[in-house]
Chains A and B, each alone.
Chain A
C-alpha cells in the first residue's frame, strides 16, 4: 500500500497555511458585537455611597452576559429593568470562608439594542474585581423579527401562498415561471434592503459573464483579471452587505452561520457552479437559469446546498398530488421538530426552566448557567450531558430547517437532496460527517478535499484543511479553528485505526451502541466551541472534559 507518493512540498505549504491562519486569528481577534461603557474608573474603596451609570450597546445580536464581582461590602447591579442584589445574602453570590470576600456571578440576557446598566455600592465597600463578558449571542435576523411581528408574519405567509399559486399556474411555462419566482424573491430582498438587492443582482450578473470569460479564454491575464474582479465583488458584497445579510439569512441549529460569510449558502452554490464552469461543465446555461438556481427561495435561507446539475435534473415538470402531500408533510414534520422538540423541549433543557431543577441546580437555576459561572468546577457528567443535549438540539433544529426547505422546494417543483441522515446514529466520526449536513460535507469533499488530496498526495492534511474551511466558513474565529482541529483529529484517528486494525465484523456489530455513544460524545465535545462565544469558557470546559477522561493529561 506504500504507493501513495507523498508530496512534501505542497504538504508543507498547506501546513504553513494552517499555521498562518492560526496566527492571524490570534493577532486579529474579531471585535465583540457588544460594548459596555461607563465603568472604566471603578474605585477600589468607596468613601461614600456611589452610583455609576453605564450603557451597553449591541450590534444586531441578542447577547447573554456574565457579570462577575469580588468585593467586601454591599451593592446592587441593575441591568435594564432587572436588579440583582450584591451581598452575602444574595442567591447569586457566595462568600469565601478565608478572606470573607463576596463573589457574585450574574448571568443575564439582553434584548434591547441599548441597555442602561447601573451599579451601586454602599459606603466602605472594597471592590477587588469587576469583570464582564459576552458568553453567547444570537444574531438578530429578519425571520426572528418576522416571527414576533404579526403583521409581517401574515404578509409573509400570504407572499408564500402567492408564490405557490403562481408556480402552480405557470407549470407549463418554465421561463415565465422562473422569471416570476425571481421577481418575487428579489422583491422580498428589496423590501428588506433595496441597495443590497441591487448590488446582489449586479454582482450575480457580473459573475455570470466573467465565468464564461474564465472558461473560454486561455489568456492568463484575462483569467487573472476575472478572478480579481470576482474577488472584489465578494469583498464589496460582504463589506456593504453586512447588515442586510445579517437580517435576511437565518441561523439554523444556532451555529452562528452568519459571521462573517453572511451570504454563506449562496456563495457556496456560486463557487460550486464556477468550478463546474472551470471544468467545462454546464456552460450552456442561461442567465435566467443561473439566477433562478442561485436565489431559489426554497433553499435560499438555510440550504441544503444543491448543485446546479442535480437541481435541474430533479425538476418536476408537472406537480402531482403526491408531490403536494410529500411537500406539506415534510413542512409539518419540520415545524413539529422545530417548535415542539427543539425549542419547546431541548432548548429549555439546555438553557434553564423547569426541567433543570431535576438535573443540576445550584441557585443559578440552569445547567448552562452553572457551567458559565464556574467552568473549572463543573463535573465531567455535567459538561458531557450539556454537550450531548446541545448537539441533539443542534441536529433537530438544523434538520428541521432542512425538512421545511425540502418540503417547500417540492411544492415549488424541485426535488432537493437530503441534508441529514441520522448523524446521531453514526458509529464513528468519519461516518458522522457523511451523515451530518451532507450537502455541505459533499461540497467540501468535492471542492476542497479532493483537489488538495491530488495535490498533496496525502489524505490527512486535506482533512484538516477541509474541516478548517467548513469551520471558518461559519465564523472566522479561534473557536471554530479549535472545532476544526477537534473534528479533523478524530477523522484522521479513525482512518489510521481502520487502516491498521482489522476488527472482526461481528465484534464491531455488538459494539454498535457503544460506538454510537462514543461518536456522539466526541462530536458533542466540538459543540462546546460552537455554543459558547466566549473562547475561555469553551476551552476550559473542553480541556477539563479531556482531563476527566484521560486523568494523566
Chain B
C-alpha cells in the first residue's frame, strides 16, 4: 500500500508556495472550512496535486472535505496514486 508514503512536507511546501500559507501549517489545520483558502482556489490546488503526484481525481468521488487539510490531501494522494 502506498499509504505508508508520507507526502505531508511536500504538500505543505506546495501550499506555502502557491497560496502563501504559513510555513508551520499544522497537518490537521482546516484550510478551506476555516477560510484560509476560498473554494474557488480548489481547482488550482487539484491541478497542482495531480501534476506533482501524478494522480487523477475522479469526478464524482471527490469532495471539498478531501482537500481540507494536509492529512486529508495526503490520504487522497495515497488513495489515487
Real binding pair:
yes
Partner-B contacts on A (CB < 8 A): 1, 3-5, 275, 278-279, 445-446, 450-451, 453-455, 457-459, 495
Given A445-B64, A446-B63, A455-B59: A495 in contact with B44 (beta carbons within 8 A):
no
Is B43 engaged at the interface, CB distance under 8 Å to the other chain?
Answer: yes
B47–A495 touching, CB < 8 Å:
no
Number of B residues near A (Cβ < 8 Å) is 17
Given A455-B59, A459-B43: A446 in contact with B48 (beta carbons within 8 A):
no
A454–B44 touching, CB < 8 Å:
no
Q: Give residues 27-60 of B contacting A (CB, 8 Å).
A: 39-40, 42-44, 46-48, 51, 57-60
A459–B40 touching, CB < 8 Å:
yes
Q: Could you list 9 A-B pairs, sorted by A, with CB under 8 Å?
A: A1-B44, A3-B51, A278-B60, A279-B60, A445-B64, A450-B62, A451-B62, A454-B59, A455-B59
State the CA gap A3–B59 with chains docked (Å).
Answer: 19
Question: Chain A: which residue is nearest B61 at the CB level?
Answer: A279
A4–B63 touching, CB < 8 Å:
no
Taking chain A's interface residues, is the majority helix, strand, or loop, or is none over half, making it mixed?
Answer: helix
Given A4-B47, A445-B39, A457-B47: A450 in contact with B57 (beta carbons within 8 A):
no
A4–B62 touching, CB < 8 Å:
no
Q: Which residues of B contact A495 (CB under 8 A)?
A: 40
Q: Which residues of B contact A459 (CB under 8 A)?
A: 40, 43
B51–A275 touching, CB < 8 Å:
no
Given A3-B47, A4-B47: A453 in contact with B63 (beta carbons within 8 A):
no
Taking the closest CB of chain A, its distance from the CB of B36, in whole angstroms, is 15
State the CA gap A3–B45 with chains docked (Å).
Answer: 9
Partner-A contacts on B (CB < 8 A): 39-40, 42-44, 46-48, 51, 57-64
A3–B64 touching, CB < 8 Å:
no
B61–A450 touching, CB < 8 Å:
no
B64–A446 touching, CB < 8 Å:
yes
Taking the closest CB of chain B, its distance from the CB of A235, in whole angstroms, is 23
B57–A4 touching, CB < 8 Å:
no
State the CA gap A79–B40 with chains docked (Å).
Answer: 54
Taking the closest CB of chain B, its distance from the CB of A502, in whole angstroms, is 12
Taking the closest CB of chain B, its distance from the CB of A447, in whole angstroms, is 9
State the CA gap A178–B56 with chains docked (Å).
Answer: 41
7 smallest beta-carbon distances between A and B, as pairs: A451-B59, A3-B47, A455-B59, A454-B59, A279-B61, A459-B43, A451-B60
A4–B59 touching, CB < 8 Å:
no
Q: A3-B51, A445-B64, A450-B62 are in contact. List 16 more A-B contacts (CB 8 A).
A: A3-B47, A3-B48, A278-B60, A279-B60, A279-B61, A279-B63, A446-B63, A450-B42, A450-B63, A451-B59, A453-B42, A454-B58, A455-B59, A458-B43, A459-B40, A495-B40
Taking the closest CB of chain B, its distance from the CB of A53, in whole angstroms, is 58
State the CA gap A5–B61 with chains docked (Å).
Answer: 20
Taking the closest CB of chain A, its distance from the CB of B64, in whole angstroms, is 6
Question: Chain A: which residue is nearest B50 at the CB level?
Answer: A5
B63–A454 touching, CB < 8 Å:
no
Q: Which residues of A contact B60 (CB under 8 A)?
A: 275, 278-279, 451
B64–A454 touching, CB < 8 Å:
no
Q: Which residues of A contact B48 (CB under 8 A)?
A: 3
Question: Chain B: which residue is nearest A275 at the CB level?
Answer: B60
